[in-house]
Amino acid sequence: MEEPAAPSAATLNINLGILGHVDSGKTSLAKALSTLASTAAFDKNPQSKQRGITLDLGFSAFTTDPSPRLRDAGYDQVQYTLVDCPGHASLIRTIIGGAQIMDLALLVIDAVKGIQTQTAECLVIAEMTTDRLLMVLNKTDMLPADNRAAHVKKAEERVRRGLKGTKFAEAPMVAVAACPGAEEGAPPLGITQLIDTLREMTELPRRSADGPFLLSVDHCFPVKGQGTVLTGTVLSGSVKVNDTIELPELKVQKKVKSLQVFHKPVPSAKQGDRVGMCVTQLDSKLLERGLAATPGSVVTMTSAIAALRRIKYFKQPILNRTKFHVTVGHTTVMATPLFFSLPTGAPQESAQLPTTFDFSHEYLRQDEMLASTREHRVGQQWALLRFEKPITCPPNSLLIGSRLDTDIHSSACRIAFYGRLLGAADSPDQGLKLYKHKQREGVIDRVQDEYTVIGRGFFKKETDLTIFLGLKVEASTGEVGVLESPFGKTGKFKVHFPQGVPKDPKAKLHLKYRTFFLASDKRKIAQ
């Protein structure tokens, strides 16, 4: 491995997430791989050292030669920026925040213990956030020394069985011992094979310097005599020294004084880069995590439309108006969803989540989020999310919905759904049209003439019948009429049958209609 250099036109930066259960050896693996550490690498948090576990995101890096296809694309080295995510169940918010900035993931599994609860949750997060995953079977030195190769093979087979049914069932797997304990100072095992495998599976990410600048800030600290440094990953666009950026949560704008990539000054940074940005006259205590962006490009919302996918491992019902923890970037807030979809028979959900929403359509309101089965595939599902606290994020942000109040010692998956925020829905004038199918049954009270009957049973006496007038009424004998007017004040009504009243005076009457629930919470009725 070569010493990392500041990214240039010939250096490709890849953000490599390291996920896994607590004590699976993620930080040891990061140390074994890395040749350059940031100010937040390798559990430098004092509480991390005290407790002996990762409590926050850690960042470090190494560089290596590119694969032939990346060299053909014009790169002479690849820098892997390692995002070391905590593995403890109580820190899933931090895990989710770290996973959303990665291009590729390492899922670290204890060779002795196999797939554990947070291993599975990290696998779910990886399925949402990346298409490329490398399984790392760590701590192989802890397996019985007698015929260790056979024990490693059995451990790999157990992991493969656990991956069955996931999109990473055939993901490559490498066995390592990041921190061998048998001998003091023993070198890590399997690291060269791990790097070679990474090199071969690394694809050129789709990146662009166009569009608004957006930085996911994960650490903020003062530097005496310089200013305040914001470190993070550039999610979109680009930034240059002397550019003006906005900190939308604080509603302030600052000029970029300087930029660094792993302690080396650079004139600019673009999408995918890990960067430190220095600004002046900012109290670092005001912003631990958040966003830095092109002024005016990020909005704050209290309600939003989201396109969603359900997580198949979440076994509880996902009901309307049930509170969920919704994580967007490094922010987690409580939100209440109202689920809806296109009418039955509409096109099935595509492989990609939609990036726009059409308010002109009429949508079927659901009582809960539906799950696809082998026999029945559900269509695309959306939700109107109402946040307990305003949330600040750019359009099309990835979101993850969880029940983080679930017992952390439970083996149940706590992640319920994921998707993208398509835009704010704070104004009722946007006219979101949600409806439910309704049906009422009544009887003929008496026949008034050959074309008109008086009916009862549809309504209570206090019901406002005027919103139902003109709707179609079907008799159980096949005749079709129109709800013409109320009759008296007891909830009775008149139905006009243009082709003549039902021949059977005991025929049942059926009123089928749709009730619309608008964003303004007003109601209207339609057939």
Hey, what are 212's tokens? 């608004």
Report pLDDT for 350.
63
- The answer to whether 513 touches 482, Cβ cutoff 8 Å, is no
From the CB of residue 470, how many other CB atoms can be counted at a distance below 10 Å? 12
- Read off the pLDDT band of 89 (50, 70, 90): very low
Report pLDDT for 486.
96
DSSP classification of residue 90? G
Tell whether the model's pLDDT for residue 210 goes beyond 90.
no
DSSP 435-467: EEEEEEEEEEEEEEETTEEEEESS--TT--GGG
How far is it, in rounded angstroms, from Cα 9 to Cα 14?
Answer: 14
pLDDT averaged over every residue in the chain: 85
Domains of the chain: 11-201 (3.40.50.300), 214-293 (2.40.30.10), 299-424 (2.40.30.10), 434-526 (2.40.10.190)
235 Cβ contact partners less than 8 Å away, ≥ 6 residues apart: 101, 214, 215, 216, 271
- Read off the pLDDT band of 482 (50, 70, 90): very high
Cα angle value 385/389/393 (rounded, 5°): 70
Cα angle value 96/100/104 (rounded, 5°): 115
How far from chain centre, in Å, is Cα 478? Answer: 49
> Sign of the CA dihedral 389, 391, 396, 398?
negative
- Read off the pLDDT band of 452 (50, 70, 90): very high
- The answer to whether 341 touches 378, Cβ cutoff 8 Å, is yes
Hey, what are 499's tokens? 């082709």
How far is it, in rounded angstroms, from Cα 261 to Cα 60?
Answer: 11
- The answer to whether 484 touches 494, Cβ cutoff 8 Å, is yes
Share of the chain above pLDDT 90, in %: 48
Say what the pTM is.
Answer: 0.81
Report pLDDT for 38.
52
How far is it, in rounded angstroms, from Cα 55 to Cα 66?
Answer: 32
Q: pLDDT, tens digit, for every residue of 267-291? A: 999 888 889 999 999 999 998 888 9
DSSP 220-242: EEEETTTEEEEEEEEEESEEETT
- Read off the pLDDT band of 179 (50, 70, 90): confident
Report pLDDT for 68.
92
Report pLDDT for 57.
57
Q: pLDDT, tens digit, for every residue of 240-252? A: 999 999 999 899 9
- The answer to whether 125 touches 20, Cβ cutoff 8 Å, is no
How far is it, in rounded angstroms, from Cα 255 to Cα 240?
Answer: 10
Instruction: Return the beta strands (E) in 160-315 as ranges.
Output: 173-175, 214-223, 227-236, 238-240, 244-247, 252-255, 258-261, 264-265, 268-270, 274-279, 290-293, 299-310
Tell whether the model's pLDDT for residue 217 goes beyond 80.
yes
Report pLDDT for 483.
97
Report pLDDT for 55.
33
- The answer to whether 198 touches 134, Cβ cutoff 8 Å, is yes
Residue 56, CB-side half-sphere exposure with 13 Å CA sphere: 17
How far is it, in rounded angstroms, from Cα 172 to Cα 201?
Answer: 9
